[in-house]
Every structure is written in C-alpha cells, then in structure tokens.
C-alpha cells in the first residue's frame, strides 16, 4: 500500500540517521557464564527498540496502543509461559510483581533483563516438576478412588505452596497413567513412556535459546495490541518462509500449542489430511511415528519440534496418535496414518454436485458448489494467459454445467474457507451481481479504497444461498457480506470468524546495516475490511439470515473471543443499489427449518451430537475413576460409529477390505441448506425476489 511504503521509507530514513551497530549472529545460545542462565543479546536489544517503534507508530489501530500497559504485558507474558498455572508458585508471582509496572518502559529502552529473569525461574520450576513427576512413577495409583483431575487451570489461583503444586501434579501423573492404561498399555511400558515424556518436558524447556525467550516476550507485548500482530524470531521466520515455499507439501494441517499438547488448528482444504478425512480440528497429537517405526510420545514437546517430526518427503507415511476433539482427554487415542503429499490445485479447486429434493409432485434440483479457498494463478493472470486457473473461472464453469442439468437454485458452500486472494472474492461476487462495489479497504492512514465488480452481467441470476460457518473468514466473509448487502441471496449457517484485518510482513534484517544481523520479522496489522454498507466484518463477522444448528456460544469462538481483538467499527457506506429485500420470505423459511429440526431424523441426530460435544468441551476436569472413564470411552466410541455409519461392531472387519464397512455420513447441514433454498423458491413463486434479472454472461473468461 502506498501509505505503508511512505511511512516505511520515513522510518528507514530516521534509522539511517541513527548510528547502527554491526551486531553478532543470534543463533548461539546466549548464556551467563557465571550462573548458567539465558540472557539477552545486543541484537535483541536493538530489535526490541526497532519493533516497538513499528508497533507504536504504524499499527493500523493505534488507539489500542493507549491500552498497552506494563500490567497487561506482565499478565500476558505469564500466560505465554505458564498458561495452565502448573509451574509457578504464588510466591514466584509475588516476587515478579516488582516488574509489573515497568515492562513497557523496559521494552522501549531495551532493558530485557526482567523477561529473562522470569523465564530462568520458569526453567527451574519446570525442572522441579519433571523431577517430581518421575518420582511419582514409583508409586501405585488406585483408580477406584473417586477423585478428578482439573486439566484446565487457566483461571485457577496460583498454587499457594509446594505441597499444593505437588498434589496438582500427582493427579496429572495419575491421569497420564490412566489414559495409557485405558489404551491397554502394560505397566512397564507406561513407566517407560511417561519417564520419557517428563524427561522431554524438561529437555524441551532447557533447550530454549535466547531468541526464543525474546520472541515470547515480544509476543506478549504484541498480543496486548491485537491478536494478529506478532514478532517472529529468526528461526520462526525461517520456518515461516519454508512453510510458504513448501505450503503445497506435507499432511496439510495447521498446528498450535495448547498447554502441553499439539492441537490441530485447521485442516488445509485439498491436503492429504483433508482427503483422508480422519484428522479433525481440535484433535490433540500425543505421538508421532514414521512408517513402520514406533510412535514417539510428543506430549510436552515444543511446537516446532513436533512440526519437524511430522514433516517429511512426499509419498512417505507419518503415523499420528491423536486424542479426538470429541472425546477430549478421556480418549481413547487413535492411530491415523497419513501419506505425505502435495496439496494439488485440483484438490483445492471448486467442485459441484446436484441435490434433488422431492417437493409434492415436483423435484427441485439444487446445485451445490464447494469453494475450499479463493485461489488464482497470479503469474498467469498477469501475463493475460487465456486459460489461467482461478476459483472464479472454475465456479463459472461449474455454474454452466449445473444449469445444463436443470438447476433451480444454487448453494455456494464456503464452510471452512479461510480466505485467499482478495481479487477472487471480488470477481466471484461479480458472478452473481451485475456491476458494483464489493468491499471497502481502509489503510492505516485512513484512506479508503473500493474493490468493485466492473464486468457487466452475471453467470447466475437465479436463487442463491451462501453457506458459511465459524471457520469461514476473510475473503469468504467479503463475498457473503456483499451477497447479503445486495439482497442477492440468503446467507445460511453460523456467524463467520470475524477477521476483518490485513497484515503486512516486515523483515527487520533489511533495516539493519549489519551483514550478519538476524533480527527476525514483524507481522503488523495495516488495514481493515468494511462492507459496502459501512459496517466492518471485524469481530462480528457475517451473521447468517437463517442460523443452522451449531454447538457453543458464538461469542466464545472466532475473532471476538480473541483477547484484545480490534472492535467492530464502521465507516461511511459506499454507493450501491440493492437487488431485493428478502425479509418477507425469511421468517416463513425459518419456520419450516425449525419444524424440520424436530421432525427430520438427520437433523435431530445432529442436534443431539452437538449437545453431547458441547457438554464434553465445556468440562475442565476428568474423572480418575477407571470405571467411569471406561464407560465414557464406550459411549464416545458408540457415538463415533453411529455418526460415521459403521455397520459392524468393534473388531469386525470386511473380509475383502480389512476395514469396518461404513457408508459415507450425510452432510446434514448442506442438505438442509438445499431444503431451505427450495423452500424460498416455493415461497417466492409470485414475488420474484430471488432472481436478479439482468444480462446473463456464461462465457469462460473473467
């Protein structure tokens, strides 16, 4: 953006006028030789001054910076290090209180010693906990005692003393043992596995380097501004660049660290994990194995080490031992073998199908187009190649094919679509409107630009529904919002994620004169999206016209649930002409949908499953009674088999395939979306609100 380039150049000029040091490399582990503790490097001190200058001067939402207090940085740093409050004692926190009011100033003046002192104490406490955990493995646990383990202590008080923390860890180790016992592991094997786990926990923390500590502290600062800005250490920046270069290879899953567990944050559409279908968002990875080799326990490992273990050459197999999200820490674990491969464009590409719905004496033919991501061959587009690939072109082609099959209405399925190319969100919206603005973009200087469809005509002017969920974000929200604002179609599903911001990457190494300087990179929020009616997609997301069954409170998921998320705001609307007002039809269609919720077997079963999942997800503790856990395991397995349509009891296999027989589970929400659109068509017989009458364009070019 021009405004960013302008301020960026200004900052570089200011830095050139300031003497810069040729700094040593940061790859080494900077240690105080006398005390054997980590300490900050000169390079990190310089990077802290540079990064805070960027954050304070050029972040899009500078108003948030007034709330960046030392107290918030202090609390966030403790959450980064000990989110489950199972290492530090209350006496540690009281000792650290002397830094609570001084961390913001320390960042500006590069006085990083407080952050390193806190971290060095953390390393010591982790070592003590690991030693205590190993000692408990010599004891005998009684699983007939009615007690529970609180696995989520994020809101609990810090342990008052060593005895209280010992009791917390006794239950943690007992739960670790019980989980392996429920997996039919022998006592000797359990002791070996858990000994290695606690050794790895201690080793992982002791292997942290100075640059890791600096990254933790800088991100504690960045997250007090808003959740999408961040600092990446040189190692993290290198891994990020590798992931970008190799983003089309691997198993196709995004991971995140939650306490001591590596958790699946997102399944990449079209990747091996997505095509396999067994790995789900929220699953916890507890072990990783290669091919025919055994499983390595990875509970307590640092995230990048787990990623390194999962990575590997294409067409090789990685075995993941996971605790399914639906059963939580109750287990049982499952072994999922996935062949590493590339995420082919064909696997990410839009796909279409037809759903036929009997309605009285008629049959409604509802077309469905699933768009996993907004993709485009930028190089081919820039060269104006006649057949360059894009999601808009593929959707246009599928529309033409479905029309030839007699399509009455179209459902555009954007569930799980986390975004992609902004130009594709604009051009794909243009397939359903004649001409006009699609989204407004406001940069950090306040300048507003408009992305618009400038091509006359439409590829589809008939009844339209857009299906979204909580993982529909960014470009998906832009398209859904535009369709809703124009009254061009109905939006169905869950409120979307609500990410209405744009980030830029800033390489700090490019600013330093030091040839070997490794300062890392910043990810800085620089712009925000606004709907054509002026409201933002930030925080609130896009609220569907008709809500479909879902679990949990929408306010607890997505952008609005992230700490220090930027608030919803608005700007002036831009000029546009709505196509129709669908409000007369929506209440009647919603009534029919609500009636089916109570009568239709698939919907009733789905709602029951969602309620059970929600009950499990709201728990912060598990029973340590073996009998209770086995009952919960059996119930969870039965629900899983029922949902997947498995026809054999556990242990039965098909003689030919060697796997349990099952039918593909129906996509209940997609089928219900098709019914709702069919209802709207029926209700609209005389009003003609669902069709946009204009010049139909069916060519295969943009």
Close Cβ partners of 549 (under 8 Å, ≥ 6 residues apart): 597, 603, 606, 607, 610, 669
* Cα–chain center distance at 138: 40
Three-class secondary structure of residue 611 per DSSP:
helix
Instruction: Please provide residue 613's backbone torsions phi and psi, each rounded to the nearest 5 degrees.
Output: -60, -40
Residue located via tokens 């926190």: 93
Bridge pairing between strands 253-258 and 261-267: antiparallel
| Other CB atoms within 10 Å distance of the CB of residue 19 | 7
Residue by residue, what is the 3-state secondary structure of 627-687? HHHHHHHHHHHHHHHHHHCECCCCCCCCCCCCCCCECCCCCHHHHHHHHHHHHHHHHCCCC
The CA-based angle 476-268-379, given to 5 degrees, is 70
Three-class secondary structure of residue 623 per DSSP:
strand
The Cα 163–Cα 165 span in angstroms is: 5
- Among 41, 48, 472, 474, the active-site one is 474
- Among 171, 209, 499, 540, the active-site one is 499
Bridge pairing between strands 37-38 and 501-507: unpaired
Helices marked H in 575-621: 586-599, 601-617
Contact criterion met (CB below 8 Å) for 310 and 156: no
For the question of residue 474 being annotated catalytic, the response is yes
The Cα 226–Cα 216 span in angstroms is: 15
With CA atoms as reference, report the closest residue to 563 among 83, 112, 191, 197. 83
DSSP per-residue letters across 215-226? HHHHHHHHHTT-
The Cα 687–Cα 684 span in angstroms is: 5
Sign of CA dihedral 332, 333, 337, 340: positive
In angstroms, the Cα distances linking 449 to 357, 443, 600 are: 43, 8, 47
> Half-sphere exposure of 295 toward its Cβ, with a 13 Å CA cutoff?
20
Residue located via tokens 């600062």: 221
For the question of residue 499 being annotated catalytic, the response is yes
- Among 394, 485, 679, 684, the active-site one is 485
Q: What residues are labeled active site? A: 474, 485, 499
């Amino acid at each position: 953006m021009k405004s960013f380039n302008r301020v960026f150049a200004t900052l570089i000029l200011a830095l050139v006028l300031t003497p810069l040091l040729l700094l040593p490399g940061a790859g080494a582990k900077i240690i105080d030789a006398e005390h054997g503790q980590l300490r900050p490097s000169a390079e990190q001190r310089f990077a802290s001054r540079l990064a805070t200058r960027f954050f304070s001067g050029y972040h899009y939402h500078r108003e948030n910076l007034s709330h960046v207090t030392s107290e918030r940085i202090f609390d966030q740093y403790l959450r980064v290090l000990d989110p489950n409050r199972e290492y530090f004692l209350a006496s540690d926190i009281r000792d650290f209180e002397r830094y609570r009011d001084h961390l913001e100033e320390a960042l500006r003046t590069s006085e990083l010693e407080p952050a390193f002192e806190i971290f060095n104490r953390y390393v010591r406490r982790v070592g003590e906990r690991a030693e205590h955990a190993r000692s408990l493995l010599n004891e005998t646990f009684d699983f007939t005692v009615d007690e529970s383990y609180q696995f989520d202590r994020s809101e609990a008080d810090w342990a008052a003393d060593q005895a209280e923390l010992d009791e917390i860890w006794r239950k943690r180790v007992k739960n670790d043992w019980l989980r392996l016992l429920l997996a039919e592991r022998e006592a000797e094997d359990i002791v070996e596995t858990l000994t290695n786990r606690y050794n790895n926990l201690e080793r992982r923390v002791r292997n942290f380097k100075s640059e890791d500590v600096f990254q933790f502290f800088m991100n504690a600062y960045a997250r007090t501004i808003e959740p999408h800005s961040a600092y990446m250490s040189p190692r993290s920046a290198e891994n990020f660049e590798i992931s970008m270069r190799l983003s089309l290879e691997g198993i196709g899953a995004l991971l995140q660290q939650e306490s001591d567990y590596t958790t699946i944050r997102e399944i990449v559409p079209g990747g091996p994990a997505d095509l396999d279908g067994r790995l789900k968002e929220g699953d916890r990875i507890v072990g990783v194995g290669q091919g025919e080799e055994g499983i390595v326990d990875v509970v307590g490992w640092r995230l990048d080490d787990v990623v390194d273990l999962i990575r590997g050459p294409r067409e090789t197999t990685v075995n993941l031992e996971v605790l399914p999200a639906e059963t939580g820490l109750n287990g049982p674990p499952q072994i999922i073998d996935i062949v590493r491969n590339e995420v082919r464009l064909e696997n990410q590409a839009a796909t279409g199908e037809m759903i036929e719905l009997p309605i009285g004496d008629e049959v409604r033919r509802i077309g469905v187009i699933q768009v996993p991501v907004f993709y485009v061959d930028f190089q081919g587009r820039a060269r104006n190649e006649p057949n360059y690939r894009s999601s808009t072109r593929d959707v246009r082609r599928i529309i033409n094919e479905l029309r030839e099959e007699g399509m009455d209405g179209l459902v555009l399925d954007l569930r799980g679509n986390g975004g992609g190319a902004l130009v594709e969100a604009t051009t794909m919206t243009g397939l359903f409107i004649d001409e006009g603005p699609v989204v407004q973009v406001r940069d950090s200087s306040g300048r507003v630009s408009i992305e618009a469809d400038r091509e006359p005509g439409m590829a589809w002017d008939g009844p339209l529904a857009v299906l979204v969920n909580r993982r529909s974000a960014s470009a998906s929200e832009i398209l859904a919002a535009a369709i809703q604002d124009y009254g061009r179609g109905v939006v169905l599903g869950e409120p979307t994620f609500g990410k209405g911001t744009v980030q830029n990457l800033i390489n700090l190494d490019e600013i330093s004169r030091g040839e070997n300087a490794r300062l890392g990179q910043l990810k800085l929020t620089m712009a925000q999206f606004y709907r054509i009616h002026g409201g933002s997609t930030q925080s609130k997301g896009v609220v569907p016209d008709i809500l479909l069954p879902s679990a949990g409170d929408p306010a607890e998921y997505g952008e609005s649930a992230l700490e220090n998320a930027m608030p919803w705001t608005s700007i002036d609307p831009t000029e546009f002409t709505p196509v129709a007002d669908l409000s007369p039809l929506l209440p009647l269609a919603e009534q029919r949908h609500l009636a089916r919720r109570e009568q239709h077997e698939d919907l009733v079963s789905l709602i029951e499953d969602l309620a059970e999942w929600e009950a499990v997800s709201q728990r912060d503790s598990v029973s340590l009674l073996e009998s209770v856990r086995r009952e919960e395991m059996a119930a969870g397995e039965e629900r899983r088999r029922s949902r997947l349509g498995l026809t054999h009891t556990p242990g039965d296999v098909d003689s030919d395939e060697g796997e349990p027989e099952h039918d593909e589970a129906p996509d209940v929400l997609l089928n219900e979306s098709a019914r709702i659109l069919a209802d709207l068509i029926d209700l609209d017989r005389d009003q003609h609100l669902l069709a946009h009458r204009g010049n139909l364009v069916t060519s295969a070019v943009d």
